[in-house]
Amino acid sequence: MTQPLRDKLVAMLDVVYPALDCQFLADQLLSTMGLEPDMPPPPAHQNNWDESDIILITYADTVQKEGQKPLVTLRQFLNDCLSDTISAVHILPFFPYSSDDGFSVMDYLAVNESHGSWEDIEAIAREYKLMADLVINHMSARSRWFENFKKRVDPGKDYFFQGNPRDDLSAVVRPRTSPLLTPVQTDDGERYVWCTFSEDQVDLNFANPQVLIEFAAIIRYYLERGVLLFRLDAVAFLWKEPGTPCIHLQQTHELIKILRLLIEHYSPDAVIITETNVPNRENLTYFGNANEAHVIYNFSLPPLLINTLVTGDCRHLKTWLMSMPPAQLGTTYLNFIASHDGVGMRPTDGLLDEEEKQHLINAMESFGGKVSYRRTSDGRDQPYEINISLYDALKGTVEGGADHWQLQRFICAHTIMLALEGIPAFYMHSLLASENDLERMENTGRLRSINRSQWEIDKLETELENPLSHHSKAYHELTRLIDIRRRQSAFHPNATQFTLHLGLQLFGFWRQSMRRDQSIFCIHNISDEVQQVPLSSINLIGTDHWQDLISGMTIDDQSGTITLKPYQCVWLSNRD
């Protein structure tokens, strides 16, 4: 017999709040979400995605038009240029904010007036699956809640986590070099607030259950306005206990389960995605037992794939791929190779050695990239992320420097991403092959601005219509590859995947559809030299007709070889 929703919720709450009346708290949460206590659960292990799903990641104001709200311009660009290419759009924080390009939220229930309105958001949500950030770990120091914290009144009085400078905080895992505790003058004296990311981003206090209730109300508000995919920003840091690393604590995992339980009972089609930019093994824990995140970011993919293509050696990428467990049904990976943030280096821990990391950093700096750092528990500053546009990250090789293979290398990277197990996500500036925006970085003083350009839509459309422009070449080839991918059942996010062993310059894997009616051998030359692929090494079934979905080439002699130019890729399929 199925356990009632309320009973499940109470059991989870007891783990987080053992000293509280969790039955009363469960009733508050269910009332806030508008849920009945005995609601049946959604179908178990349900895949809310298929091979046609492609996510676009963009800021609300990445494309602009004079005299028009950016959300209106964005919708126009999506409908004119990407309506047959993407199924979902992740609009990065579109709320009023005070810093960090949106991730220091001042009001969770408002749309930034300079971007547009809730009506604009809802219009996009009617045409595409909408993914929004739930910036759940911290809030702006200029928010009303924090102003109330300083005045010592509600709502907000006890909404922010406070620390004590005398506590032993040496074990706390930090993603930044800024001070962890910030002194704040309040109406009843000086208090120290916990700031994982910056003094303008004050960590919320989930030890106060009223904060959880507030977020249940925020989640319901988003659901009512069409949000279907929830990105839990920086969620790994949610629960704090001095004397511990304050990352990945059990209460954090339990809170994710609680949010998932509430969200999927409200909308069985909704999806939770955890944003945990951490080493690979730690990242995998956010699947739980298929009861935490529906989807986790493949954070190790961007640095490993870039490293593969600039070294011409796929050893580490292949080792990583072989170690990745197949996601259970109802869960999957989100594959990306560029985002609004930099290329994370922590996800390479245990995958690249220190010398290899430094060689990669040196290459990226030679291509115009910058490096930001984090503070370790022993006081050392370690590289945290590389800030660079993906197009410029693939400008050349570690040994040879910049070369003429940049575009081919860039297309190869995305071809690999499109074929891997999971849902592909394209950052707008990768789809457009934007270059390093050094001027914007200098103007803002923030390294991440190097990959957060803004396009004037008329100029962008001119570039995309110019056949000689690298923006046009990249955009048209990537949208062509996406169109091919979306029609292949073997590219379902949960389809079978096996790694192929073809040497260090050929990265390959095999995908098979869940109905076993299609196989695709995905083979990629990740070097700047011509490579020969003996077809005998990939065991094509002799009775099937094989064709490269990318070029249209047919395989007439299965005992022969195929020749791959530098960075050329093939998707050999037994079904057109």
Of 465, 493, 311, 514, which is closest to residue 394 (Cα–Cα)? 311
Q: Residue 551 belongs to what domain range? A: 496-573
* Cβ–Cβ under 8 Å, residues 278 and 325: no
Q: At what angle do helices 250-266 and 22-33 cross, to 10 degrees?
A: 40
Q: Is residue 568 part of a domain?
A: yes
Predicted pLDDT of residue 435: 97
Question: Is there a catalytic annotation at residue 233?
Answer: yes
Q: Is residue 259 part of a domain?
A: no
Q: Is residue 561 part of a domain?
A: yes
Number of domains in the chain: 1
Please give the backbone phi and psi of residue 229, each rounded to the nearest 5 degrees, phi first.
-120, 125
pLDDT tens-place string over residues 548-572: 999 999 998 888 899 999 999 999 9
pLDDT tens-place string over residues 510-556: 999 999 999 999 999 999 999 999 998 898 887 789 999 999 999 98
d(CA 343, CA 555): 38
* Cβ–Cβ under 8 Å, residues 299 and 344: yes
d(CA 568, CA 526): 8
Predicted pLDDT of residue 539: 81
d(CA 260, CA 396): 43
Which residue bears the tokens 């991730």? 103
Predicted pLDDT of residue 559: 82
Residues 214-243 as b/e (b if ≥16 CB within 10 A, e otherwise) read bbbebbbebbebbbbbbbbbbbbbbbbeee
- Percent of the chain past pLDDT 90, that is, above it, reads 93
Q: Is residue 558 part of a domain?
A: yes
d(CA 519, CA 539): 11
DSSP secondary structure of 307-341: HHHHHT--HHHHHHHHHPPPPPTT-EEEE-S--SS
Residues in the chain: 576
Helix, strand or coil, per DSSP, at residue 109: coil
Of 268, 264, 271, 274, which is closest to residue 238 (Cα–Cα)? 274
CA distances from 539 to 266, 455, 534, 560 (A): 47, 47, 10, 12
d(CA 439, CA 452): 11
Checking if the pLDDT of 331 tops 90, the result is yes
Please give the backbone phi and psi of residue 231, each rounded to the nearest 5 degrees, phi first.
-95, 115
Mean pLDDT of 166-190: 94
Angle formed at CA 532 by CA 527 and CA 534, multiple of 5 degrees? 135
Q: Is residue 516 part of a domain?
A: yes
Of 503, 312, 317, 506, which is closest to residue 399 (Cα–Cα)? 312
d(CA 416, CA 413): 5
Q: Is residue 545 part of a domain?
A: yes
- If one counts every other C-beta atom within 10 angstroms of the C-beta of residue 24, the result is 11
Q: Please report which helix (H) or strand (E) contains residue 500, including its range.
A: strand 496-500
CA distances from 187 to 84, 103, 142, 148, 191 (A): 56, 27, 16, 10, 10
pLDDT tens-place string over residues 365-408: 999 999 999 887 777 888 999 999 999 999 999 999 999 999 99
Q: Is residue 94 part of a domain?
A: no
d(CA 257, CA 260): 5
**Which residue in the list 233, 341, 392, 548 is annotated as catalytic?**
233
- If one counts every other C-beta atom within 10 angstroms of the C-beta of residue 44, the result is 9
In the sheet that holds 381-387, the strands lie side by side as 343-344, 381-387, 370-375
pLDDT tens-place string over residues 57-90: 999 999 999 999 999 999 999 999 999 999 999 9
Grade residue 2 by pLDDT with cuts at 50, 70 and 90.
low
Q: At what angle do helices 470-485 and 406-419 cross, to 10 degrees?
A: 20
Q: Is the dihedral of CA 561, 567, 570, 571 positive or negative?
A: positive
Q: At what angle do helices 354-366 and 301-311 cross, to 10 degrees?
A: 80
Average pLDDT, rounded, for the chain: 96
Q: Is the dihedral of CA 46, 497, 334, 551 positive or negative?
A: negative
Which residue bears the tokens 């506590």? 167
Residue type at position 78: L
Predicted pLDDT of residue 380: 82
Which pair of structure tokens corresponds to residue 429?
Answer: 């500036």
Checking if the pLDDT of 1 tops 70, the result is no
Q: Is residue 357 part of a domain?
A: no
Q: Please report which helix (H) or strand (E) contains residue 201, including its range.
A: strand 201-203
Q: What is the CATH number of the domain that holds 569?
A: 2.60.40.1180
